[in-house]
Amino acid sequence: MLPVRHRAPLVLLCGVLLLGAAGCAGGPAALLGRGTSGSAVSAAAQPPLDPADLNAVLERVVDGRGMVAYEALQREPAQLDRYLQALAELTPERFASWSEAEQIALLINAYNALTLRSIIDHDPIRPTIKAIPGVWKFRRHPVMGQRLTLDEIEHQILRREYNEPRIHAALVCAAISCPPLRREAFTGPELERQLEDQTNRWLASSEGLRIDRDAGEVAISSIFEWFGEDWPRADPDAAPVPGHESESAVLHFIARHRPAEEQELVLGGNYRLAYLPYNWDLNRQSP
């Protein structure tokens, strides 16, 4: 969840994502079973990864606000570790046979599950994920026979290979200002509903959007600044928002997920646009 300017260079990824003779020219596309044209390689669909263990973990340690009982998870990590073992043993060929929705769901689940594991690996638990050295860039996790960092899953695979900005409402980097962690795993058949619900919840919170009509200010999550190019890519024809033309796609996205009176304000453009400070404190439940 680090800003885009901190992304790991692609050249580092080439050494990580080699699959057989695919070489660095394949990169993430090789992992995803895509040809050089970017189209998916056809394969008979294989069963998706069973998220039962991850579901059990999320139901047990995540509350209705998306806050996590990390100490409880640290005491009983067996279900989380079973899910992570299944993720490590998942073959790229099986993954490549899935629909795009199933692939996105799996990668979101992987990111969130590995983030949980990264937090509970430290005793005592750190007050912020940023206190864990190399947690995004250098700490590698077994995923589909590879050793991937969290940054590679997010930036080099999810953001690069899929044109779906709602992932930013679903990837949870264990901070207060992140979107709320969901109490269920993402799945292909439910992905549309889940991403819409996640986006609505995030933008209904003070960490996603704050509107101060008296001050004439609309403040939005810094995620929209860090990864701002993802929204114009998904909505290149977004109508210009007066006074905020370069943020038009982002503002249309926000407006679509807010009530009518807020939609009118956001798309009217008559306000000062600001980015909210990011609270990196751990998203942990109170003792």
Across the chain, mean pLDDT equals 89
- Write the pLDDT tens digit of every residue in 161-216: 999 999 999 999 999 999 999 999 999 999 999 999 999 999 999 999 999 999 99
What pLDDT, in 10s, does the model give residues 95-152? 999 999 999 999 999 999 999 999 999 999 999 999 999 999 999 999 999 999 999 9
User: How far is it, in rounded angstroms, from Cα 187 to Cα 217?
Assistant: 37
The reply to whether 287 falls in a domain is no
34, 147: one domain:
yes
pTM (predicted TM-score): 0.89
Check whether residue 194 and residue 268 sit in a common domain.
no
Q: What is the mean pLDDT of residues 281-285?
A: 97
Instruction: Give the N- to C-terminal CA distance of the chain in Å, as an integer.
Output: 26
Tell whether the model's pLDDT for residue 11 goes beyond 90. Answer: no
Asked whether residue 286 is assigned to any structural domain, the reply reads: no
Whole-Å CA distances, 159 to 2, 155, 230, 261, 279: 13, 5, 8, 31, 23
Residue 1 has pLDDT above 80, yes or no: no
Helix (H) or strand (E) holding 109: helix 100-120
Q: Is 24 found in the same domain as 150?
A: yes
Q: Is residue 284 part of a domain?
A: no
Does residue 29 carry a pLDDT above 80?
Answer: no
**pLDDT of 47:** 96
Burial class of 214 by CB neighbour count within 10 A (0 to 12, 13 to 18, 19+): exposed
Residue 140: inside a domain: yes
Residues 116 and 184 in one domain: yes
Do 222 and 197 share a domain, yes or no? no
- Considering 183, 201, 219, which residue would you say is the last residue of a domain? 201
**How many separate domains does the chain show?**
2
| Same domain (yes/no): 224, 104 | no
Please tell me the total number of residues recorded for the chain in this structure: 287
Same domain, yes or no: 214 and 173: no
Whether the per-residue pLDDT at 26 is higher than 90: the answer is no
Range of the domain at 161: 4-201
DSSP character at residue 51: -
11 burial level (CB within 10 Å; 0-12, 13-18, 19+): exposed
Q: Is residue 280 part of a domain?
A: no
Alpha carbon distance 229, 7 (integer Å): 14
Last residue of a domain, one of 201, 222, 256: 201
Instruction: Please tell me whether the peptide bond between 277 and the residue prior to it is cis, using omega within 30 degrees of 0.
Output: no
Confidence check: pLDDT of 77 > 70: yes
Does the pLDDT at position 220 exceed 70? yes
Query: Is residue 179 located within the same domain as residue 60?
Result: yes
Residue 281 lies in a domain: no
pLDDT of residue 33: 58
User: Is there a single domain that holds both residue 184 and residue 105?
Assistant: yes
- For residues 28 and 13, what is the distance between their CA atoms, to the nearest angstrom? 8
Say if residue 41 is in the same domain as residue 147: yes
| CB distance 13 to 27 below 8 Å | yes
Within a domain: residue 263?
yes
Percent of the chain whose predicted confidence (pLDDT) is above 90: 84
Q: Which amino acid is at 77?
A: P
* pLDDT at residue 44, rounded to an integer: 85
What pLDDT, on the 0 to 100 scale, is given for residue 138?
Answer: 97
**Token couple for 73:** 């998870």
- In this structure, the answer to whether residues 102 and 47 fall within a common structural domain is yes
Higher pLDDT residue, 224 or 22? 224
Percent over 70 (pLDDT), the chain: 85
- Place 39 in a pLDDT band, splitting at 50, 70 and 90: very low
Given 178, 201, 224, which residue is the final one in a domain?
201
In this structure, the answer to whether residues 191 and 107 fall within a common structural domain is: yes
